[in-house]
Amino acid sequence: MLTWAKPPRLVVGIVVDQMRYDYLSKYDPLFGPDGFRKLQRQGHVFTDARFNYQPTVTAVGHATIYTGAMPAVHGISENNYFDKDIGKVVYVMEDPAVVPVGSNTGRCSSPHRLRSTTITDELKLRHPSSKIISIAIKDRGALLPAGHKADGAFFFDERSGKWITSSWYAERLPDWLQQWNERDQNRKYLSEPWNLLLPRSAYAMCTSDSTAYERAPAGKPWATFPHFIQADDWKSFTASPFANTLTKDLAKEAIVRENLGRDDVTDFLCISFSATDIIGHAYGIHSLELADCYARLDRDLADLLSFLDKQIGKKNILVFLTSDHGAAVNPLFAEDQQMPGGRLEADTWLATANQFLGQRFDGTPLVAAIMEQQLYFNDSLMSAMGIAYHEVAAAATEFLLKQPGVLCTVVPKAGLSTCPPMVETALRNGWVPDRSGDVIFALRPGWIDWPHDYGTTHLTVHAYDQHMPLIWFGWKVRRGLTHRPTCMTEIAPTLALILNLPLPSGCQSHPLSLPLKK
């Protein structure tokens, strides 16, 4: 690849939250010609793009895509982690030094725990007149792609039903977004019930409309269509495909009102579609609800691509579409289909773990927390009792390997591993010394760490959580397929090469071999 004298006027990064690679083929019968199919047929598809770490979750995925670094380097270790210094669970975006802007009920969130620059940071540092705008329902889906220097990072406050930002970026919303909120634009997306977009016969890839694998809405025995969203129930709204449509429409408004892509200095628009994840958690990967969400997202993408072409021109925009993680099969569904798998709740093991270790260490409660497939030691007690770290590590490993669904363990500080090499590498890539647990454990294929019978989750080392779509479209992209193994950390250095930018500070990867026209 050469460096380019005239890079694209606008880069549009699209992350579809919880989208497995196989959804491109699974839901293809539901797609029209101008959304996912257009991206694949006119763009370049990397068919074997993967994250190479655990934990595969939203915050970590977005940080990895935009920094080109593994979690061990960029520092975003989880959505939530146990902070040993204060003895409690911390949300990774939480920042008491900032306030929400646009609502007094929103989260106090910022990217302050992100330890690497992002590709958007590097663009802003090189070209201060470049505009960086990021939009998502989830704060972590907006703030981490935005990086540290964005012009705007906007996320949805489900308490007030308004779009907000963090004081990290600005003391007030831009006028156009303030006007959007004041006109109560979001409320029109609540005006109709959620029915199937297509005839029921089109959804042959789904289970029935009434199964035990889904979360029933309040007041209903089953999760069946139509779904009604009560006025001002913005939390339920985010679990509907209309939240994706709202995100798309706000992105279109931002393109116009921020004049994105209007000059020869590259701008960057980050969009994360969050509803796919929220719906997947609630209803599972075989549900009608998730399939219909993708049918509707396909139309949203078609509208967005058409809008971009009319406003800026396909030859002037570079689009990439990917995901932050995948999802597992619901264990009840797996059992009914005679497939391996199961469900555990590791955070309920704390008392049992301390009882097990206490038999060897005079009853001392040496485990401080178990969460997100990680076990944290009580360092102060270990030090006070003079108990050797490697002895506790060995006992904790023995305890975990006795639990149903646990595949293997890694204790990075003690150099201990019971994992096969590829799994060990993935666990070490996701380990952040001052934020991650002392013992990391991987689950057997098909097992999930999840407190509900319904829906599903993610986080593991397995392909259904790691294998992502990665499609490039527009500008000078040559259409086609690349089948070689690709790491998701290769996205940011590819953008750095195209935009003639330095690599993000934590980036460890080489660029993709993305075929481009001269």
Query: How many Å apart are CA 488 and CA 441, to the nearest integer?
Result: 22
Is the domain of 424 the same as that of 466? Answer: no
Residues 6+ apart with CB under 8 A from 251: 135, 269, 271, 304
Q: Is residue 513 situated within a structural domain?
A: no
Is the domain of 70 the same as that of 209? Answer: yes
Q: How confident is the model at residue 1 (pLDDT cuts 50, 70, 90)?
A: very low
DSSP secondary structure code for residue 48 in this structure: T
Is the domain of 360 the same as that of 223? Answer: no
Is the domain of 47 the same as that of 190? Answer: yes
342 close to 358: Cβ distance less than 8 angstroms: no
The answer to whether residue 231 scores a pLDDT higher than 90 is no
- 108-158 confidence digits (pLDDT tens): 999 999 999 999 999 999 999 999 999 999 999 999 999 999 999 999 999
Q: How confident is the model at residue 3 (pLDDT cuts 50, 70, 90)?
A: low
Residue 276 maps to which CATH number? 3.40.720.10
Q: Is residue 357 situated within a structural domain?
A: yes
**Residue at a domain's end among 444, 468, 489:** 444
62 close to 135: Cβ distance less than 8 angstroms: no
Once rounded to an integer, what is the mean pLDDT over residues 231-235? 91
Which residues does the annotation mark as catalytic?
58
Strands 367-371 and 342-344: unpaired
- Dihedral sign computed on CA atoms, order 386, 391, 395, 400: positive
What is the number of domains present in the chain? 2
Residue 402 maps to which CATH number? 3.30.1360.150
SS3 at position 147: coil
Query: How many Å apart are CA 287 and CA 283, to the nearest integer?
Result: 6
82 close to 89: Cβ distance less than 8 angstroms: yes
Q: What is the pTM of this model?
A: 0.97
Average pLDDT, the chain: 96
Which of 106-115, 223-232, 373-382 is the least confident region?
223-232
Q: Is residue 184 situated within a structural domain?
A: yes
Is the domain of 438 the same as that of 483? Answer: no
Q: What's the gap between Cα 297 and its chain centre?
A: 17
Is the domain of 250 the same as that of 350? Answer: no
In the prediction, which pLDDT does 428 show?
A: 98
Q: Is residue 365 situated within a structural domain?
A: yes
Is the domain of 117 the same as that of 239? Answer: yes
Q: Is residue 5 situated within a structural domain?
A: no
> Which residue carries 């030691």 as its tokens?
377
Residue 264 CB burial class (10 angstroms; 0-12, 13-18, ≥19): exposed
Is the domain of 492 the same as that of 366? Answer: no
Query: How many Å apart are CA 247 and CA 252, to the nearest integer?
Result: 9
Q: Is residue 509 situated within a structural domain?
A: no
- Domain extent at residue 241: 10-334+460-498
Q: Is residue 62 situated within a structural domain?
A: yes
Q: How confident is the model at residue 185 (pLDDT cuts 50, 70, 90)?
A: confident
In the prediction, which pLDDT does 272 show?
A: 98
In the prediction, which pLDDT does 221 show?
A: 79
Q: Is residue 217 situated within a structural domain?
A: yes
User: Tokens for 412?
Assistant: 């990075």
Is the domain of 478 the same as that of 381? Answer: no
Is the domain of 396 the same as that of 467? Answer: no
Is the domain of 327 the same as that of 346? Answer: no
DSSP secondary structure code for residue 316 in this structure: G
Is the domain of 48 the same as that of 153? Answer: yes
In order of 54, 61, 214, 215, the CA distances from 280 in angstroms are: 20, 17, 9, 10
In the prediction, which pLDDT does 370 show?
A: 98
Q: How confident is the model at residue 4 (pLDDT cuts 50, 70, 90)?
A: low
- 417-472 confidence digits (pLDDT tens): 999 999 999 999 999 999 999 999 999 999 999 999 999 999 999 999 999 999 99
